[in-house]
Amino acid sequence: MRILSSPKVVESAELAARRVVDAYLVPNKTFLELREMTINGSIDLLSEFGEACRAEFESLRSQFFRSQF
């Protein structure tokens, strides 16, 4: 990943990994707490990584199609 991906994607992946590890350090949540976290978006550990990957993919795709025509 570090070889093929942009610095933004790598940075976002590292942040996601830190968030996952940090999640193990906090006290366990009840089902209702997890539900609330899902509703308010605080449990989405991969959103920034997904957005960075999508942006990079779109950039590469547009470059590819421009070079084909």
Per-residue pLDDT of the chain (69 residues; tens, 9 = 90+): 889 999 999 999 999 999 999 989 999 999 999 999 989 988 888 999 999 999 999 999 888 777 776
d(CA 37, CA 59): 32
In-domain check, residue 1: no
pTM above 0.85?
Answer: no
In-domain check, residue 25: yes
d(CA 57, CA 35): 31
For residue 49, the enclosing domain spans 7-68
d(CA 10, CA 49): 8
The pLDDT, as a whole number, for residue 22 is 92
In-domain check, residue 44: yes
The pLDDT, as a whole number, for residue 69 is 61
Domain count, the chain: 1
